[in-house]
Every structure is written in C-alpha cells, then in structure tokens.
C-alpha cells in the first residue's frame, strides 16, 4: 500500500509525463472533482437505503472507480494548493470532535448550531 505522499508523487509524474500539468489548475481540478462526485452520486440516485448498502459486485466495482477518481483529483488539488492533506484531515477531525461532542450528538443527525435544541 502506498502512502499519500507516494500517491501524490506518482500523480505528479503521471501528469508531467503527459504534459497535463498545464491543465491542472486549482479551478480545473475542483471542477473535475465535482464532476466525478456527481458520477458517484448517479450510482445511488434511485436506490433505496437498503439497496445502497448491498450493491452487486459489478456496481460496487463502478463505485470504486468513481471514488478513486475523486481521491485522485482531491490529492492533485491539495498538492497544487500546497495543502498537507493528512494535517488538514486531522485538524478537521479535531474541530469536529469539539463541534460535535459524542455525549450530545450520539444517535442524532443535527448541525452543530442545533445540538442543544431538543435535548
């Protein structure tokens, strides 16, 4: 299994070998990321909750490809902007732990500014 930094380097090399770096502006990468996210959502569009949790193998393989596309564009975007994804993700998890204390939100789908309502 490759580390995130190894994948980032591999993606840099992939783009450079094809002279695609010229197209990988943050704007373009963000737009491509959204397109891929829409393609992922399309696989779930008309499924029930239960169906979405038990995808047949062929559909699961397609979803896996879309998730990979999303991750690739996200890594490239972060790289272009100089964002350390591991640091950013850990910082965001820490922030979410403060915004959503487990003892107050367990079993509840509420936004952080609605936590104390209805307790």
pLDDT tens sequence across 67-94: 999 999 999 999 999 999 999 999 999 9
Whose CA is closest to 102, among 18, 24, 93? 93
- Please state, in angstroms and rounded to a whole number, the distance separating the CA atoms of residues 68 and 37: 10
Q: Is the pLDDT of residue 117 over 80?
A: no
Of 3.30.1330.10, 1.10.287.1080, 1.10.357.10, 1.10.1060.10, the CATH number of 4-83 is 1.10.287.1080
The answer to whether the CB of 8 falls within 8 A of the CB of 24 is: no
Q: Return the sign of the alpha-carbon dihedral for residues 109, 110, 115, 119.
A: negative
The answer to whether the CB of 42 falls within 8 A of the CB of 69 is: no
pLDDT, tens digit, 9 for 90 and up, residues 5-19: 999 999 999 999 999
What are φ and ψ of residue 68, in 5° steps?
Answer: -65, -45
Q: Where are the domains of the chain?
A: 4-83, 84-119
């Amino acid at each position: 299994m490759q580390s995130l930094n190894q994948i980032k380097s591999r993606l840099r090399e992939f783009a450079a070998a094809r002279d695609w770096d010229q197209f990988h502006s943050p704007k373009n990468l963000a737009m491509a990321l959204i397109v891929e996210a829409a393609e992922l959502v399309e696989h779930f569009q008309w499924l029930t909750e239960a169906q979405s949790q038990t995808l047949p193998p062929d559909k699961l393989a397609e979803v896996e490809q879309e998730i990979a596309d999303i991750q690739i564009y996200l890594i490239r975007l972060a790289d272009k902007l100089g964002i350390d994804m591991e640091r950013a993700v850990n910082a965001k998890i820490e922030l979410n732990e403060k915004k959503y204390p487990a003892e107050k939100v367990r079993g509840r789908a509420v936004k952080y500014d609605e936590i104390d309502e209805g307790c």
